[in-house]
Amino acid sequence: MAKIKHTFVCQSCGVTSAKWVGRCNSCGDWNTFVEEVVSSKDTKNNASISSIGHVEARPFRLSEISIKESDRLDTNNGELNRVLGGGFVPGGITLLGGEPGIGKSTLVLQVALSLNDKKVLYVSGEESLQQLKLRALRINKENENCVFLSETSMEKILFHVEKEKPDLLIIDSIQTVVTEHLETAAGSVGQIRECANLILKTVKPLQTPTLLIGHINKEGSLAGPKILEHIVDTVLQFEGDRNHLFRILRSSKNRFGSTSELGIFEMEQTGLREVINPSELLLSNHDMQLSGTSISCVQDGMRSFMIEVQALVSSAAYGTPQRSSTGFDIRRLNMLLAVLEKRAGFRLMAKDVFLNIAGGIKIQDPAMDLGVITSILSSNFDLAIDTRCCFAGEVGLTGEIRPVNRIEQRIIEADKLGFRRIYLAVSNPSKLKNIKAQIEVCNVRRIDQLVKALF
Ligand code: TYD
Ligand code: MG
C-alpha cells in the first residue's frame, strides 16, 4: 500500500506547509492551516481505474438521458418529502444540520424505522446501541430491515456499507467520524472534509442515498468547512426553539428540488409529528378579544400560514426604554417604532415595547410588518383587534404600506381559515379578480389610514 503523505494547507490562500503554523506567511491570516492528505501516484491510479469500472464514462446527448422520478426513495414522511422534492435520490448525499437537541436524530430514526421494506444502515458515532434502542422505543416503531452500527472509524463504516449495500445510509454525525489518514481530532476541518470525500467516493458508485447529520456552530451555520456544503447535494436545516414544540425543516441547497419548500413538525412524546395545517396550531384559540394581539398572514417558502403577533407597550420604568423581541428582528422592530413615531405621531420614545411571535418560530417575511405595528398600536391604545381580521404588508420608511408577494395565496389561505377581513397594501385589482373568496379585502395606503380604519 502506498504511503500516505500529509500536508498543511492555508484555507485562505492555498499555500502549503510541511508543519502547522499559526499565521500564514503568505496571506497573513491566523488559524487557517488545516491538515490534508496528499494522495500519492499509486492511489490516484487505483481511483481512476476503479471509477472507470463503475461508471460508463462517455458524453451523452440530452435525449439519451432518462429521468425516472420513481427512482427516488420515498421517506414515508410527507413534510420531509416536500423539502427534499419527493424523496431521497439514488447516490445523493443530504446533509441535515441543526442545533444540539433540536431533534435531528429523532427525525432520521423515525424515517429509518418507517421504511419497512428497505434496508437501512444507521451509523451512530454519538450514541451507543442501547441509547438508540431507547429512542426507538420512545418513537414506538420497528423495522427489521434497519441495522445499527455504533462506530466512528470511517474506514470501518465504509467497509460495512460496501458489505451491506443498504438502500439508505445514515451517519449521525459527520463531526464524530474519523479517518485513519489524518491524525487530527474528530470534528476538525480536515477530518470532516476527508471523511465527506471518502463517503462520496463510496456511495456514488453504489448509488446509495446518504443522509449525514451535522452540527451547527454558535453563529448558526453548519460547523466544519464550507466545502462540505459544496460536496453534498442537498443541505437541510432543522430549526426551532428548543423550548417550543415547533420545528421547521428548510433546504438551503437542493440539486434535486426547490429550496423554497418548508416542512413543519411538532415534537411530541412519541417523536416528531408532521404538521399539515400550521395555522391552526400557531393561533392561540382564545375567543376573548385581547388588546396587543393581531394575526399576520405570512408566507415562508411556498407555504402561507397565519401567525399570532403579541405586543406589550408600557411606560418605561427606567430612563432608557426597553425593546425586546422574540421571533422578530429587533432592528426591524426599532425601525417600525421610529416610523410610528415620525410618520404617524405616536409617542413611543418613553415606552417599553415587548414583542413576541407565537410558537417560537423565526419568520423573515416582510409582510409581518403590518401585523407588528397593529399589535403595538393595539397595546398602546389598549383596544382589541377583531380576531377575524388578518394583516399582510410591508411598512416603508415613509410610512407607506407596500405590497408583498403571493398575495393571491395569502388571501385564499385566510379565507379558508374563516377570516372575515384581510388588510393589504393597495395592489393591482386585476390580479385579485379571479379569486373566489368570501373574505373582504381592505386596501390601506399609509399607516394613518390603517389607524383610522382600525381604532
Ligand atoms: P435528539 O433527536 O436527540 O436531538 P439531536 O439529535 O438534534 O441532538 O432529540 C432531542 C430532544 O427531543 C430531547 O430533548 C428529547 C426530545 N424528544 C421528545 O420530546 N420526544 C421523543 O420521542 C424523542 C425521541 C425525543
Ligand atoms: Mg443527535
Q: What is the pLDDT of residue 409?
A: 87
**What span, in angstroms and rounded, lies between the C-alpha atoms of 143 and 147?**
9
Residue 65 and residue 25 in contact, taking contact as beta carbons nearer than 8 Å: no
Mutation pick for ligand 1 pocket among 132, 267, 270 (CB with most ligand atoms within 8 Å) = 267
pLDDT band for position 106 (cuts 50, 70, 90): very high
Q: Whose CA is nearest to atom 12 of ligand 1?
A: 103
In sequence order, what are the residues at sequence separation of 6 or more whose Cβ sits closer than 8 angstroms to the Cβ of residue 361? Answer: 240, 241, 244, 246, 248, 282, 307, 327
Residue 205 and residue 55 in contact, taking contact as beta carbons nearer than 8 Å: yes
Backbone angles phi, psi at 238, to 5 degrees: -105, 115
Ligand nearest to the CA of 176: 2
Q: Which uninterrupted H or E stretch holds 23? A: none
C-alpha cell at 260: 423554497
Which among 443, 292, 453, 298 is positioned nearest to 361, based on CA atoms? 298
Q: Whose CA is nearest to atom 22 of ligand 1?
A: 271
Fold of 75-274: Rossmann fold (3.40.50)
Q: Is 296 a residue whose pLDDT tops 70?
A: yes
Q: Whose CA is nearest to atom 8 of ligand 1?
A: 101
With 0-12 / 13-18 / 19 or more C-beta atoms within 10 angstroms meaning exposed / middle / buried, residue 450 is buried
Q: ipTM value, please give it.
A: 0.95
> Does the 280-454 domain belong in CATH 3.10.580.10?
no
Q: Whose CA is nearest to atom 1 of ligand 1?
A: 103
**What does the pLDDT look like over 192-245, one tens digit per residue?**
888 999 999 999 999 999 999 998 876 666 666 667 888 899 999 998 877 778
Which atom of ligand 1 has the smallest separation from the CA of 109?
A: 2
Mutation pick for ligand 1 pocket among 96, 106, 213, 242 (CB with most ligand atoms within 8 Å) = 106
Q: What is the pLDDT of residue 39?
A: 62
Average pLDDT over residues 61-68: 80
Residues with CB under 6 A from ligand 1: 98, 100-106, 135, 138-139, 267, 269-271
**What span, in angstroms and rounded, lies between the C-alpha atoms of 264 and 7?**
44
DSSP E strands in 156-302: the ranges are: 168-172, 210-215, 234-239, 246-254, 262-268, 271-274, 293-300
Average pLDDT over residues 431-445: 83
Q: Within a 10 A sphere around the Cβ of 192, how many other Cβ atoms?
A: 27
Q: What is the pLDDT of residue 123?
A: 95
In sequence order, what are the residues at sequence separation of 6 or more whose Cβ sits closer than 8 angstroms to the Cβ of residue 108? Answer: 96, 122, 170, 172, 211, 213
pLDDT band for position 121 (cuts 50, 70, 90): very high
Q: Look up residue 376 and give its amino acid.
A: I
Q: Which uninterrupted H or E stretch holds 309? A: strand 303-315
pTM, full prediction: 0.79
Q: What is the pLDDT of residue 287?
A: 66
CA of 136 to the centre of ligand 2 (A): 13
Which atom of ligand 1 has the smallest separation from the CA of 269?
A: 20
Q: What is the pLDDT of residue 15?
A: 85
Percent with pLDDT over 70 in the chain: 90
Give percent helix, percent strand, percent coil of the chain, each to the nearest 5.
30, 30, 40
**What span, in angstroms and rounded, lies between the C-alpha atoms of 236 and 1?**
38
Ligand nearest to the CA of 113: 1
Average pLDDT over residues 5-30: 86
**What span, in angstroms and rounded, lies between the C-alpha atoms of 137 and 132?**
9
Q: Within a 10 A sphere around the Cβ of 159, how many other Cβ atoms?
A: 13
Tell me the residues surrounding ligand 2 (ion) with CB < 5 Å. Answer: 105
Q: Where are the domains of the chain?
A: 1-66, 75-274, 280-454
**What span, in angstroms and rounded, lies between the C-alpha atoms of 73 and 168?**
8
Sign of torsion over alpha carbons 421, 336, 406, 299: negative
Q: What is the pLDDT of residue 377?
A: 95
Which among 289, 301, 443, 300 is positioned nearest to 378, based on CA atoms? 289
DSSP secondary structure string for all residues of 131-144: HHHHHHHHHT---T
CA of 339 to the centre of ligand 1 (A): 42
pLDDT band for position 43 (cuts 50, 70, 90): very low
Residue 399 and residue 378 in contact, taking contact as beta carbons nearer than 8 Å: no
Reduced to 3 states, what is the DSSP secondary structure of residue 335? helix
Q: What is the pLDDT of residue 132?
A: 93
Which atom of ligand 1 has the smallest separation from the CA of 173?
A: 6
Q: What is the pLDDT of residue 54?
A: 54
CA of 266 to the centre of ligand 1 (A): 11
Which atom of ligand 1 has the smallest separation from the CA of 104?
A: 7
**What does the pLDDT look like over 323-334, one tens digit per residue?**
999 989 999 999
CA of 189 to the centre of ligand 2 (A): 20
Q: Is 128 a residue whose pLDDT tops 50?
A: yes
Percent with pLDDT over 90 in the chain: 47
CA of 329 to the centre of ligand 1 (A): 27
CA of 101 to the centre of ligand 1 (A): 6
Which atom of ligand 1 has the smallest separation from the CA of 135?
A: 24
Ligand nearest to the CA of 126: 2
Query: What integer best gives the mean pLDDT of the chain?
Result: 86
Q: What is the pLDDT of residue 444?
A: 92
Q: Is 432 a residue whose pLDDT tops 80?
A: no
CA of 101 to the centre of ligand 2 (A): 7
CA of 80 to the centre of ligand 1 (A): 17
Q: What is the pLDDT of residue 16?
A: 87
CA of 105 to the centre of ligand 2 (A): 4
Q: Is 51 a residue whose pLDDT tops 60?
A: no
Q: Is 374 a residue whose pLDDT tops 60?
A: yes
Average pLDDT over residues 155-160: 95
